[in-house]
Amino acid sequence: MLNTTHEGFVKLLIGKWLQAISFNARFPTKLLWMQNLLRKKTGWTPMDGDTFVTKEGFIFNVFGYEHPANRVFAFLKYIPSRFAGLFQIKFLERTWLFEGTRLFRAEKLYTAKNYQTFLDTFQKHFPEYLYYCPFRDKEVISAPLDSIQRVFVPRECLTNIRNLEKRDNLQQLVLDFVRLVSEASNVPLDEFGVHGSIALNMHSEKSDIDIVVYGSRNFRLVEKAIDKLVEAKVLKYSFSNLLDKMRHFKGRFKNTVFMYNAVRQPEEAHQKYGQFRYKPIKPIQFTCRVKTDDEAMFRPATYGVDDYCPTNAVSELPARHVPGMVVSMIGCYRNVARRGDRIGVSGMLERVENLETGEVYWQAVVGSGASEDEHIWLI
């Protein structure tokens, strides 16, 4: 359970934080202090891929690592059946059962259209789940901390499975898979986690093995180890589409689908909410070369790029506005390219200002919510 002690203190702190926003948005140092103080009171620092359940029974996945002091940026994954009719989206035929509550899931989680539908429904029926971000100048989905009843952290969920005296078939298979990869990669078991339906104990025998690897270095070690296990025919890659083939993150272990993704270690989450201000400029399309891929495996995924080549007249830019980074907010474009690869990008040009130093730079964002046609492709 989320620790909700010192409720009066927390409300006072939140009030002062909101007062500070209305007075002046240029306060990253003060904001960071309040963020850290509030996290100590709640006992949880939200990290990308953590899952939480709200008082209404909504199940969200945390998005990214930068969050306001009293809220968590997240995307809605599961909707209780009693609220499903409020969301004008297409659901998967399959349903899930969490502690007696039947849940529905959108057929497509990460489309701009569905995100707008979620915004509209929350605005009408659950306005507390909307938040105006002064640093992006737009409304986004965000859960108040006081709405969260339970939190599932992947690392802790795997520990819980390890500590079970009796495991079902999938739980045992997850543990066997993690032990296999841990031994092959020399990455300790404590640096792995599990999320998805098995983390919430609402899995079936047909559910996937959905693994988290903590840290960029550990992820690269696991990546190499899985390549070798595939070569040895212990594992097998499974590609449903071109993105799967580019990422090499999905396969089969004993006839069960596995997938693995990366989550930052706490020391790798170096940017803080309120440190930067983002301004969308215009949609652009271009090709470029990947210069750095050190943070390409995380969500958001960041690629350092150079050799910018516009593919239409609108995307021709002054030299000072050429993006030096491509940032994907969409998880499926994690780790699609490595250093030296050439990629085609469709996204939103953003001006980014560091509010601590005054430095200004430019980046291209994939998954801005402005269009369905934002992507990263290998050339």
Q: What is the pLDDT of residue 7?
A: 42
Give the pairing of strands 209-214 and 51-54.
Answer: unpaired
Kindly list the structural domains of the chain, giving each domain's residue range(s) and its CATH number in brackets, ordered by start: 7-151 (no CATH), 154-266 (3.30.460), 276-378 (2.40.50)
Mean pLDDT in consecutive groups of 10 residues from the start of the chain, 379 residues: 40 43 43 46 85 98 96 97 95 94 91 90 98 96 96 98 96 98 98 96 93 98 98 95 90 96 96 96 98 97 99 98 98 96 98 97 94 91
Query: Alpha-carbon dihedral of residues 173, 174, 176, 180, nearest 10 degrees?
Result: 140
**Phi and psi at residue 60, to the nearest 5°:** -115, 155
The pLDDT of residue 33 is 45
Task: Output the pLDDT for position 1.
Answer: 43
Longest Cα separation, the chain: 63
pLDDT value of position 196: 93
- The predicted model scores a pTM of 0.87
Enumerate helices (H) and strands (E) in the chain, giving the number of each: 7, 19
DSSP state of 324: S
